[in-house]
C-alpha cells in the first residue's frame, strides 16, 4: 500500500487560522515537505507540531520530488505546505502532485487560507468571474504585455506583487487598462492588515505619499466593461488589418460594421493606430 500525499493549506498571516484537520494531518504524517523549513518551524511551535520537515522549493524540486515519491511508494504519508496559504498557488508543488498522480498514489487537498479568495471577498469588486494572474512579471515591458493581453477580459483581475515593484505595476496597469476601480489588500490577517480601495490613480497617489512601500500585497483590478471589451477587440482587429496593409478607409468601415463603432470613433481609432 502506498502512502497519501496531503496538500495542506496553512495560514497566510495569523497562525491561529490553521484548521483542526490541517493540524491533525501535520502531526500524523512522518514528514512535511515545506517551501521554507524555518517558516514551518515557527508555525509548528505555535501549534505543538513536532513532525520533521524537509525543504521543497524551486531549486531542489526535481531531486526532492524523486525522494518524496519513494517515501510515498514505500507507504509513508507526506504533507506538502508552502510558506503561506494554499500550496501550488504561485508556489512549488505541481511537479510532486503530477508525479504522485501518475504513479497511482492518492492525492488529497486540505482546504484553508488563500490570499486570493480572502482579498477577493473583501475587495468590493465583482467576485465572479475572476482571473488569477499569479505574480506579475518583473519588467515593465512584460507587465504591460500581460495587461494588454487580458485588457478585454471582463473578469476581476487578481495578482501578487512585491512591495518594491507595486507602484510601477500600478502605473503600468493605469497606462494599459485605464483608470479602473481597484483594491490593494495588504498584510492579510496580520495586525497591520489594510485594504485600500479606489481608482488606480488614487491608489498610486496613496502609495506615493507613503514613500517606502512595505507589506505583502494582493492587487485586484476591476474587469473590462462590455464597452471596453468591445473597443479592445475592435482595436485588435484594426491593428491586424493595418499591419497587413489594408487601406484606412476599409478598416474604418469594418469597425463600424463588425463592432458597431460610431463613424467618429472608428476614424479616431484608425488614425491613432496608423500614426503610432
The two counts, helices (H) then strands (E), for the chain are 11, 10
pLDDT at 235: 84
Look up residue 198 and give its DSSP letter.
E
C-alpha span between 31 and 261 (Å, rounded): 61
Three-state DSSP class for 137?
coil
- Beta-carbon-side half-sphere exposure of residue 236 (alpha carbons within 13 Å): 11
pLDDT at 227: 64
pLDDT at 105: 98
pLDDT at 198: 96
C-alpha span between 68 and 261 (Å, rounded): 58
Instruction: Give CATH for domain 4-113.
Output: 3.40.1010.10
pLDDT at 233: 80
Tell me phi and psi for residue 102, to 5 degrees: -65, -25
Segment (H or E) for 97: helix 94-102
pLDDT at 189: 97
Beta bridge partners of 31: 52, 78
C-alpha span between 147 and 158 (Å, rounded): 12
Instruction: Give CATH for domain 116-221.
Output: 3.30.950.10
pLDDT at 259: 81
pLDDT at 230: 66
- Residue by residue, pLDDT tens for the chain (276 residues) are 899 999 999 999 999 999 999 999 999 999 999 999 999 999 999 999 999 999 999 999 999 999 999 999 999 999 999 999 999 998 999 999 999 999 999 999 999 999 999 999 999 999 999 999 999 999 999 999 999 899 889 999 999 999 999 999 999 999 989 899 999 999 999 999 999 999 999 999 999 999 888 888 999 999 988 666 667 788 888 888 888 889 999 998 988 888 877 788 888 888 888 876
Beta bridge partners of 138: none
Would you call the peptide bond into 129 cis, given omega within 30 degrees of 0 as the criterion? Answer: yes
Amino acid at each position: 500500500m502506498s502512502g497519501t500525499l496531503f496538500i495542506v493549506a496553512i495560514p497566510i498571516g495569523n497562525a491561529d487560522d490553521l484548521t483542526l484537520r490541517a493540524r491533525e494531518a501535520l502531526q500524523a504524517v512522518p514528514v512535511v515537505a515545506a517551501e521554507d523549513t524555518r517558516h514551518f518551524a515557527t508555525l509548528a511551535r505555535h501549534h505543538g507540531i513536532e513532525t520533521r520537515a524537509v525543504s521543497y522549493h524551486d531549486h531542489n524540486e526535481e531531486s526532492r520530488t524523486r525522494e518524496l515519491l519513494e517515501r510515498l511508494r514505500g507507504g509513508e504519508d507526506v504533507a506538502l505546505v508552502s510558506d503561506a496559504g494554499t500550496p501550488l498557488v504561485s508556489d512549488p508543488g505541481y511537479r510532486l502532485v503530477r508525479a504522485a498522480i501518475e504513479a497511482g498514489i492518492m492525492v488529497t487537498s486540505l482546504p484553508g487560507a488563500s490570499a486570493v479568495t480572502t482579498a477577493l471577498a473583501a475587495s468590493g469588486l465583482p467576485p465572479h468571474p475572476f482571473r488569477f494572474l499569479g505574480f506579475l512579471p518583473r519588467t515593465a515591458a512584460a507587465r504591460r504585455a500581460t495587461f494588454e493581453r487580458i485588457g478585454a477580459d471582463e473578469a476581476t483581475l487578481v495578482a501578487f506583487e512585491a512591495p518594491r515593484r507595486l507602484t510601477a505595476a500600478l502605473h503600468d496597469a493605469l497606462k494599459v487598462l485605464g483608470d479602473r476601480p481597484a483594491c490593494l489588500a495588504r498584510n492579510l490577517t496580520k495586525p497591520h492588515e489594510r485594504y485600500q480601495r479606489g481608482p488606480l490613480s488614487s491608489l498610486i497617489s496613496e502609495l506615493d505619499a507613503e514613500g517606502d512601500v512595505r507589506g505583502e500585497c494582493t492587487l485586484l483590478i476591476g474587469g473590462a466593461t462590455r464597452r471596453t471589451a468591445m473597443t479592445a477587440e475592435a482595436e485588435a482587429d484594426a491593428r491586424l488589418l493595418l499591419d497587413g496593409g489594408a487601406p484606412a478607409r476599409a478598416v474604418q468601415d469594418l469597425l463600424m460594421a463588425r463592432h458597431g463603432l460610431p463613424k467618429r470613433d472608428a476614424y479616431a481609432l484608425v488614425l491613432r493606430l496608423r500614426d503610432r
